[in-house]
Structure 1
Amino acid sequence: MKGLKTIIIIATAAMTLTACNDYLDIMPENALPTENMWKSKSDVESALFAGYYNLRSSIQTHLIPLGELRAGCVKRRSANDLDKLDIKPTSGDFTDWNIFYKVIADANGVIANAGKAQSNDATYTTEEMNSHLCEAYFLRALGYFYIVRNWRDAPLILQPVESDDMELYVTQSKESEIIAQIKKDLLTAIDLGAAKETFDTTWETKGRATIWAIYALMTDVCMWNQDFDEAITYADLILESKSPYAPRFMSTASHSSWFTIFNPGNSEESIFELQFSSIMPDGSGYQTNDLPTLFYNDNTTTYMLSQTLTQELNQDASQILTRFNGDIDMYGRTRYGSYVAQENSLTGYVWKYLGGTTITEPRTTEYYDPNFIIYRVAEIMLMKAEALVMRNMGENTEDNTAAIELVNQIRQRTNLQDATVSPSSGLSAIMNAIIHENIMEFIGEGRTWYDLLRVGRYKDPSGTVDFTSEFFINNVSTYNETAGGSKIRSVLLDENAWYLPVNDEEILHNDKLVQNPYYE
C-alpha cells in the first residue's frame, strides 16, 4: 500500500469519461508534473474526470462494504472483519483511505489551477471554469464526507502537491474542522452560481455534479452534523423546485416503474450516480462492472441479504399479494424488488444490480453495467422526514405529520399500506418508521451503516430516548447475524469503535498520525 504522501501527488489523467478504459496514471513520488499541465480547458477536464473515475473505482472496495456490511442487512457469504465487527489496523483495503484522497487530490488540482488554465487558453470561458470549479468543490466535499464518516479525524489537505518543499506529513484534523470545510466547499460551489441544472446528455446530468447533487450532499452533511433546519432548507431546494430540470420522485405504484431507477438507470428520480455503459453511442463495447455477480452467485466473496431482512421483505410482499391478488407487477421494492427466490425463502439477493428488463430475469453478461446511485430523491425525502422529527424531538405535531406523509409517499409507491404511526405516536415510534423505510428502500446502495450511525449519534436533551442503544445498536443487532448480539453491543458501546482505524502502513509512513484509541 502506498502512503498518503504518494497518493496525493498530483495525478495525470490518461483518460476521459468518453474513453475510461485506461487506468489513471498516478505520477510516482517526487515526479511533479505541473509544468506539463494546466495549459488548457482539456487539462482541467482531464483532472476533473479523473476524480469521477477514482470515485467510481471505490464502489466495490469501499462504497458498498463500508456502507453496508457493518450494519448487517447485506452480508458476505464468507464473513470478513467488517461483517464480524472485528476490524484491525491491518484489515484489508477497507481501512485504506487513499482512494478517497485520490479523488480529493484531483479536485485540489482543479481548484488551484483552473485559473491558470484559463489564462493559457483563450477559448476557456469564465463560465466554463466556474462550472468546473463547482464540480471540483463537490468532489472534494464528497471525498472528505466519506472519510469523516468512516475515520472521524483525518488529514485535511486542501492544496495540490506542486513542490517537494510542501509539508505532507500532517496530523489529523478533528471531525468538526473537516465538516466545516465540507460545508464551506459546498457553499462556495453554490455561491459561484455556475453549477449546472442539466448537462447536454442524460448520463452527464446524472453522472456529474449538478446543483441538485450539491444540494443533496449538503442535506446529508447537515443531517450528519445535526443541523436539522439547514437540512430541511437544502432538501426543499430539491423537493420544492419548480425547475423543469429538477429530479422528481417517481410515484407510480408499480414494480416496472420503480425498477427503472436501476435498470436502465439515470431515472427522473436520480440525483447523482456513478456511470457505466455496456454500449458506446457508436456501438462499440464500453464499461461493465462486477456488481451483478457480486450480489448473485455462490462465490464465497459475494453478498446476500440477511435472513431477518429477507423475512421482512417477504412480509411486505405478502401484504401486497393479498391486496392485488398476486399481481407481481405491483411488488415494488419488496420480494421482487430485492429478489427472494420464493415465498418464505430465507435466501435473498440485491436485485437492483442484477435485474434485467423483466421482474424475474437477470441481466445477461453483456449488460453487466448497472450504475451505482449515490443520491436519489427518495433519500432526500427521508432525510427531510428525519430532520422534521428531530428538530423538535418529536414534539411538534405539524412536523411529525409532514414527516409521516413523506414516509407514506415512499410506501405508497411500493403499494404498501401507510406506516402504522400517527403524529402523536411519539419520537421513538416515528423515528423507527423512518429508519425502517430507509433500510428497506436503500438495500445495497451503500447507505445503511451511515444512516444508522447518524441516528446513533443523536442525543436526547431530556434523557428519555437513548438513540445509541435504541436505534443504532438494536438495529445492527437485529440484522447483523454474523457478529452476534452480545459482541455487537460490547463493541458499539465504545464510540471510538464506530469509526475505522488508521491503517498501520499510514502510521508507518507518517508518525504524526494518531491511532484511534479503540484500536491501540
Structure 2
Amino acid sequence: MINKLKNKGLVLLFTLLIVMLSSCNKLLDAPNRSVAGEELHWKSMSETKAGLLGIYGLMRSALVSNNGHWVYGDVRGGDFSVYSRADLTAIKSNTLNASFPIVQNLSNWQRFYAVVNAASVFIERAPQVLENDNRYTEANLQADIAQAKVLRAFAYFYMVRIWGDVPLLTKSFDNGSFDAVKSNSAEEVLNYAEEQILSALESLPFQFGTQDNKYYGEDWNNWNKILINRVSAYAILAHISAWQGKYSNVDAYTKFIIDNSSKANVKNSNNLVGTWGGDDGLTGDYGIFSTNYGLGQLVAFSAAYWTAEATNSGHIEQLTLAQPIVNKEFPDIFVSKDSILNIYADLEDKRFGIDTISGLYREVFFEGFQNQIPIFKKIKIIRDGVSNGNYAVFGSSLIFTRYEEIVLLRAEALAILGNRNAAIDLLNGVKISRGLPAYSVLSTKPIIDEIFDERRRELIGEGWRFYDLVRYNKYVQKNASFNHLISTKGIYWPIASDILSRNPNLKQNEYWK
C-alpha cells in the first residue's frame, strides 16, 4: 500500500488481509468460530500501520471484486450496453436472481463485513500499542482510529445502497462468542455511520505527512490519494445524507468541502486531457485516475504500479477496453452510438463532440465512433508493454468522489432546497469548463434535470448512474416504473443464498422472495 513498508509491517499486512477475508464468513454466516485480530499482537507501531493499511486494502478489494463498483453503478440500469456476456446482460436487465457466478458473488456481502470487522478489531486493539510502544503517540492513535471509523461507516453506507437493510455490527467478534444476527433498518445503519464519522472529524487532518506531521515517518506524497482525511470524511457524510434525502445536511457538508478543498490539496480537473507533468487533468496518464496525478483526491483507492497493486482485474478498463487500445477484439461493455449522441447532444462538448475546424470527432471519452462499437476510454491507465487482452495490466485508481462530483451534488441539494441561482452558478462552473453553454435562468428546462444530465455526462463510467437515477426519481416522481421499483425495494440486490442458508435470522429482501 505504501512503498516504504518495513518487512515486518508488510508480513503483518498480508497476514491481516488473509485472516480478515476468511473471517467474514465466520462472523455473519457461521457464528461458532473466532475471527480476525488474533494474528496481530498489538505491541508496536508496525502493527498499527499494517492493521490500518489492511483495512484500506480490504475496502478496495470489496469495491472492485468482480468489478462490482462499476457493475452495481454503471451496468445495472446505466448507459452501458453489454456486448456478449449473458451474466452482465442479466444484471443490466435487473434479473438479479439469475444463477450466474458473478451475480451470486455480487449478492454476497461478506467482503464488506471483512472491512467492518477489521475496522472494529483495530479500534479496540490499537490502544494497546500506546501502552507498549513509546514512539506511538496519542495523536497518532486518534488519527488511526478516526480512519478506521470512517472506513467502517463507508462500508455500511455502500452496503445500504446495495442491499437496503443490513446487520449493524458495532464490535468485533474475535472471541467466538457471538450470535447469529438480524438485519437493521437502512435508516438505523446510516444514522450510525453518520454518527461515527462525525465523532472522527476532529482527529482527522486535512493532509497526512505534512512538514509538522511526518505520519508514520513519511511525508505527504507517500500518503497522497491513499488515506481518508477530514475533507474525505465530509464527502462521505454528504453522500450518506443525499441517499437519505437530507439535503440541508448535504448543503452544509458540501460547503465545507468546497471551502476547505485547497487545505487537502484537492482541485478541480480544469484540463480535460492530462498532460505530461501537469497538475490537472481528467483523463490520461497524468489525469486524476492515475496515481501520477500530483494533487489530492476526495475519496479514492489507488492501484499504482510502483506499489505492485496494478492488476489485470478490478479496473473498469477490463470491461471497456478493446482494439486498438488493447489486444481484445470486443469490449464486455460499451456505450452505443445512439446513447453517446443522446448524452453528449451539444457538439461543442469537450468530452465528446465535433471539432469545427477539422470536422473530426473529439474522442476524449470515446474512441472509434465511426465503428460499430465505440470504445469507452475515459479511464485508460495501462502499463506500457502489457496490453494483451485478458493479460493487460491496469493501474487506474477507483475514484469514489472527486471535486466536480461534489460540486454537482451541492448544486443538486441547493436546487432541491430552492436556492436556484446558487445551484445554477455551481452547475455552470462545470458546464463551461467542458465547453458547454451556460444554463440560463430563463431556461424552461427544470434545473434539477440539467444537473442530473450534467452528472450523467461528467461522471459516466465512475459508478454513479444507477444511484443517481434512484435519487432523481425519488425527487421528481415522473417515471412510474422506476418509482415502483423504489417503492417495492426492487432497487436493492437480493441477499446471496449462501448467506441466508447459514443464518436463519436473516430474511430475503422482499422484492426477491
Shared fold, TM over 0.5: yes
Q: Post-superposition shift, 1:123?
A: 1.8
Task: Specify the SS of the correspondent of 1:34.
Answer: coil
Q: Post-superposition shift, 1:234?
A: 1.2
Distance 1:14 1:450 in 2: 41
Distance 1:14 1:22 in 2: 12
Contact map agreement 2:16 2:54 (CA 8 A) in 1? no
Deviation string for 1:175-199 (max 9, x for gaps)?
11001001011101114x3344233
Distance 2:369 2:264 in 1: 40
Any stretches of 5+ residues in structure 1 without a counterpart? 1-12, 393-398, 459-464, 474-488
Alignment counterpart, residue 18 of structure 2, candidates 21, 24, 28: 24
- Number of the residue aligned with 1:436: 453
- Number of the residue aligned with 2:29: none
Alignment counterpart, residue 59 of structure 1, candidates 53, 59, 64: 64
Contact map agreement 2:348 2:435 (CA 8 A) in 1? no
- Number of the residue aligned with 2:216: none
Asked if 1:222 corresponds to 2:278, the answer is no
Distance 2:14 2:309 in 1: 8
How do 1:262-411 and structure 2 match up within 5 A?
262-263=289-290, 266-268=293-295, 270-280=297-307, 287-290=310-313, 291=315, 292-297=317-322, 298=328, 302-312=332-342, 315-317=345-347, 325-326=357-358, 335-342=362-369, 347-354=373-380, 368-392=394-418, 399-411=419-431
Q: Post-superposition shift, 1:255?
A: 6.6
Task: Specify the SS of the correspondent of 2:154.
Answer: helix
Distance 1:14 1:106, change over 3 A: farther
Q: Post-superposition shift, 1:251?
A: 2.6
Alignment counterpart, residue 85 of structure 1, candidates 84, 94, 97: 94
Distance 1:174 1:112 in 2: 25
Alignment counterpart, residue 245 of structure 1, candidates 254, 264, 267: 264
Opposite residue 509 of structure 1, the aligned amino acid is R
Distance 1:133 1:493 in 2: 36
Query: In terms of mean alpha carbon deviation, does 315-324 or 405-414 score higher?
Result: 315-324
Opposite residue 64 of structure 2, the aligned amino acid is I
Q: Post-superposition shift, 1:250?
A: 2.8
Distance 2:274 2:17 in 1: 37
Distance 2:151 2:18 in 1: 17
TM-score normalized by the length of structure 2: 0.80
Distance 1:255 1:129, change over 3 A: closer
Alignment counterpart, residue 194 of structure 1, candidates 204, 210, 221: 204
Distance 1:253 1:59, change over 3 A: closer
Deviation string for 1:1-23 (max 9, x for gaps)?
xxxxxxxxxxxx99749987996
Contact map agreement 1:250 1:269 (CA 8 A) in 2? no
- Number of the residue aligned with 2:250: 231
Asked if 1:510 corresponds to 2:497, the answer is no
Distance 1:315 1:239 in 2: 29
Deviation string for 1:208-251 (max 9, x for gaps)?
11111101111111111122121111111121127543412233
Distance 1:491 1:89, change over 3 A: farther
Q: Post-superposition shift, 1:308?
A: 3.7
Opposite residue 221 of structure 1, the aligned amino acid is I
Deviation string for 1:73-99 (max 9, x for gaps)?
123322432111111185321111111
How do 1:251-266 and structure 2 match up within 5 A?
251-252=270-271, 256=275, 257-259=281-283, 260-263=287-290, 266=293
Distance 1:368 1:21 in 2: 25
Distance 1:176 1:351, change over 3 A: same
Distance 1:319 1:391, change over 3 A: closer
- Number of the residue aligned with 1:417: 437
Asked if 1:208 corresponds to 2:227, the answer is yes
Alignment counterpart, residue 75 of structure 2, candidates 52, 69, 91: 69
Distance 1:254 1:370, change over 3 A: closer
TM-score normalized by the length of structure 1: 0.79
Opposite residue 287 of structure 1, the aligned amino acid is A
Opposite residue 405 of structure 1, the aligned amino acid is D
Distance 1:119 1:456, change over 3 A: farther
Opposite residue 273 of structure 1, the aligned amino acid is A
Task: Specify the SS of the correspondent of 2:493.
Answer: coil
Q: Post-superposition shift, 1:352?
A: 2.8
- Number of the residue aligned with 1:486: none
Alignment counterpart, residue 150 of structure 2, candidates 124, 127, 138: 138
Opposite residue 270 of structure 1, the aligned amino acid is Q
Q: Post-superposition shift, 1:436?
A: 0.9
Distance 2:18 2:359 in 1: 48
Asked if 1:114 corresponds to 2:114, the answer is no
Contact map agreement 1:39 1:120 (CA 8 A) in 2? yes
Contact map agreement 1:105 1:160 (CA 8 A) in 2? yes
What is the aligned residue count? 461
Contact map agreement 2:77 2:94 (CA 8 A) in 1? no
Q: Post-superposition shift, 1:203?
A: 5.2
